[in-house]
């Protein structure tokens, strides 16, 4: 009996080993097929990048010779499209954006700059001397980058380079020396791309109205631009006054650096805590957040808006007007914008969150206000509201109008007539008409439901 049992155990174990081995082979086959598919995908993406960069170079070279807005517009739009293709291809490759920061940044900047020039051309403005000079420099950089990429593609085709896999690629990119040549004498694409990054040509400084413009890199927050730094002790007093608590109940948790260096304090909020950040320069409240989650909703959005408005007024924020609100998790977050001489300044944004169970302030965010708020020299509108109305399509019913200052992508501002309109199917649309040029500047869709309003 014991011998029979042992024989059965051995048989079962043998079957298990066979099954396990078969499963391992199947899994290995699947893994190998997946690896090959991934490699093919990477190679296709790199081929798209090489082709796209060549097309971007060509489009940039053509744009230099555009002598009229009618020609500059389509050519700059073509440049933007080619840059988008390159950016998408780069995103598929197994290299992080940080590792290829120069290449990715160059493509983004070219696309954004071309988009701005295209919009200017649509408004009837041709390329000036500086813009043509910028395009020539960008074309030169794109040409050199395209040439380097084509050389890498040829080395990849000849077998001198291998395509990195996702995990291995990032690992090798951290060590260029190890990437360029291994023991077999075959380098990796990631290592070669890293060398291209290190030898990246100088990119021209671009000053324009877009998010990648050079003037945004060192932009100072306007509200506190000339304010002196406050000490930890002074910041504690300011934080206590803002929260309405005693200074000795606060704990200083950190001093952060970056574009807006801040003092961070925490305060007890019943069983929960509140965290408040004040700018080191000027001691302005930047961010407040409570860890408490309201359990019920006893206040209406209108009641919460009134509480938020009174809170701002009591903290010294004058001439703030509520614009939109959103309710989520029993918290009503109200957006406020500053008003100057009857003009609503949307850049000067403050968000205040009100707990719907107790009416307590549970969040506050004033980055937009700190970055943008200042006494502005507002231009006189050369276009009347009635004249601006003619720029709104007759398919929309105009409900109200308001003179506003709206931000652009490059942190510039445009004085506009804002028209709130209604569509045939009862949706709402905001149409902005430039109060100086009389041209449409922006169109936003309003998504409205029982929770509040979003703009798209």
Q: How many CA atoms lie within 13 A of 107 on its CB side?
A: 25
pLDDT of residue 35: 53
Average pLDDT over residues 76-93: 86
For the cut 90, the answer to whether the pLDDT of residue 450 exceeds it is: no
Comparing 7-16, 126-135, 165-174, 270-279, which segment has the lowest mean pLDDT?
165-174
Short-list 314, 369, 358, 367, CA closest to 332? 358
pLDDT of residue 369: 95
Average pLDDT over residues 174-178: 38
pLDDT of residue 115: 85
pLDDT of residue 41: 74
Higher pLDDT, 142 or 454: 142
CA distances to 123, 264, 385 from 434, rounded to whole Å, are: 12, 41, 10
Query: Which pLDDT band holds residue 29 (cuts at 50, 70, 90)?
Result: low
pLDDT of residue 180: 35
Comparing 120-129, 201-210, 291-300, 418-427, which segment has the lowest mean pLDDT?
201-210
Query: Which pLDDT band holds residue 170 (cuts at 50, 70, 90)?
Result: very low
For the cut 70, the answer to whether the pLDDT of residue 433 exceeds it is: yes
Q: How far apart are CA 180 and CA 422, in angstroms?
A: 61
pLDDT of residue 109: 84
**Exposure pattern of 421-442 as b/e (b: 16+ CB <10 Å)?**
beeeeeebbbbbbbbeebeebe
Share of the chain above pLDDT 70, in %: 76
CA of residue 414 relative to chain centroid, distance = 21
Average pLDDT over residues 3-7: 55
Asked if 379 and 398 touch (Cβ cutoff 8 Å), the reply is: no
Phi/psi at 123 (5° precision): -85, 5
Average pLDDT over residues 258-272: 88
Higher pLDDT, 2 or 278: 278
Comparing 8-12, 68-72, 216-220, 445-449, which segment has the lowest mean pLDDT?
8-12
For the cut 80, the answer to whether the pLDDT of residue 171 exceeds it is: no
CA of residue 106 relative to chain centroid, distance = 16
Average pLDDT over residues 139-160: 81
Average pLDDT over residues 24-34: 55
Q: What's the pLDDT tens digit per position in 181-237?
A: 343 344 555 555 566 565 565 666 665 555 555 545 557 899 999 999 999 999 999
Share of the chain above pLDDT 90, in %: 39
Comparing 62-66, 155-159, 301-305, which segment has the lowest mean pLDDT?
155-159
For the cut 80, the answer to whether the pLDDT of residue 245 exceeds it is: yes
Average pLDDT over residues 266-294: 92
Average pLDDT over residues 151-170: 62
Output the average pLDDT for the chain: 81
Largest CA distance in the chain: 107
For the cut 60, the answer to whether the pLDDT of residue 344 exceeds it is: yes
Comparing 51-55, 106-110, 119-123, 368-372, which segment has the lowest mean pLDDT?
119-123
Q: What's the pLDDT tens digit per position in 320-330?
A: 999 999 998 89
pLDDT of residue 269: 82
**Model confidence, pTM:** 0.64
For the cut 60, the answer to whether the pLDDT of residue 57 exceeds it is: yes
Q: What angle do CA 217, 221, 222 make, to 5 degrees?
A: 125
Average pLDDT over residues 16-37: 56
Query: Which pLDDT band holds residue 357 (cuts at 50, 70, 90)?
Result: very high
Q: What is the SS3 assignment for the chain?
A: CHHHHHHHHHHHHHHHHHHHHHHHHHHHHHHHHHHHHHHHHHHHHHHHHHHHHHHHHHHHHHHCCCCCHHHHHHHHHHHHHHHHHHHHHHHHCCCCCCCCHHHHHHHHHHHHHHHHHHHHHHCCCCCCHHHHHHHHHHHHHHHHHHHHHHHHHHHHHHCCEECCCHHHHHHHHCCHHHHHCCCCCCEEHHHHHHHHHHCCCCCCCCCCCCCCCHHHCCCCCCCCCCCCECCHHHHHHHHHHHHCCCHHHCEEEEEECCCCCEEEEEEEECCEEEEEEEECECCCEEEEEECCCCCCCCCCHHHHHHHHHHHHHHCCCCCEEEEEEEEECCEEEEEEEEEECCEEEEEEEEEEEEECCCCCEEEEECHHHHHHCCCCCCCCCCCCHHHHHCCCCCCCEEEEEEEEEEECCCCCEEEEEEEEEECCCCCEEEEEEECCCCCEEEEEEEEEECCEEEEC
């Amino acid at each position: 009996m014991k011998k029979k049992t042992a024989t059965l155990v051995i048989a079962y174990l043998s079957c298990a080993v066979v099954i396990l081995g078969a499963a391992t082979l199947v899994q290995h086959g699947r893994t190998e097929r997946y690896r090959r598919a991934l490699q093919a995908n990477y190679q296709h993406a790199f081929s798209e990048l090489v082709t796209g960069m060549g097309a971007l170079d060509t489009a940039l070279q053509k744009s230099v010779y555009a002598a009229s807005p009618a020609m500059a517009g389509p050519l700059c739009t073509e440049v933007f499209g080619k840059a988008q293709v390159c950016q998408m291809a780069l995103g598929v490759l197994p290299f992080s954006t940080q590792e290829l920061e120069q290449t990715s940044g160059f493509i983004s900047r070219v696309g954004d700059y071309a988009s701005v020039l295209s919009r200017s051309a649509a408004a009837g403005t041709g390329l000036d001397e500086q813009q043509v000079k910028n395009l020539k420099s960008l074309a030169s950089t794109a040409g050199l980058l395209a040439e380097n990429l084509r050389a890498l593609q040829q080395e990849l085709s000849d077998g001198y380079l291998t395509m990195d896999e996702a995990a291995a690629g990032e690992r090798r990119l951290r060590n260029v020396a190890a990437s360029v040549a291994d023991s077999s004498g075959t380098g990796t694409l990631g290592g070669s791309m890293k060398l291209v990054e290190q030898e990246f040509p100088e990119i021209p400084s671009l000053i324009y109205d877009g998010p990648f413009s050079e003037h945004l890199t060192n932009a100072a927050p306007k509200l506190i631009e000339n304010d002196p730094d406050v000490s930890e002790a002074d910041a504690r007093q300011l934080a206590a006054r803002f929260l309405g608590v005693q200074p000795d109940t606060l704990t200083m948790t950190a001093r952060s650096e970056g574009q807006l260096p801040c003092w961070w304090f925490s305060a007890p909020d019943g069983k929960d805590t509140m965290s408040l950040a004040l700018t080191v320069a000027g001691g302005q409240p930047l961010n407040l957040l409570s860890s408490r989650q309201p359990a019920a909703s006893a206040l209406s959005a209108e009641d919460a808006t009134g509480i938020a408005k009174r809170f701002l007024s009591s903290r010294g924020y004058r001439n703030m007007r509520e614009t939109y609100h959103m309710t989520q998790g029993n918290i009503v977050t109200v957006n406020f914008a500053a008003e100057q001489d009857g003009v609503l300044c949307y850049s000067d944004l403050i968000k205040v969150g009100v707990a719907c169970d107790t009416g307590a302030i549970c969040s506050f965010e004033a980055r937009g206000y700190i970055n943008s708020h200042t006494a502005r020299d507002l231009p006189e509108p050369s276009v009347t509201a009635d004249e601006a109305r003619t720029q709104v399509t007759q398919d929309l019913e105009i409900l109200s109008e308001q003179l506003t200052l709206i931000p652009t992508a490059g942190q510039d501002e445009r004085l506009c007539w804002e028209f709130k309109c209604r569509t045939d199917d009862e949706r709402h649309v905001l149409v902005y008409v430039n109060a100086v040029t009389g041209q449409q500047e922006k169109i936003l869709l309003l998504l409205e439901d029982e929770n509040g309003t979003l703009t798209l």
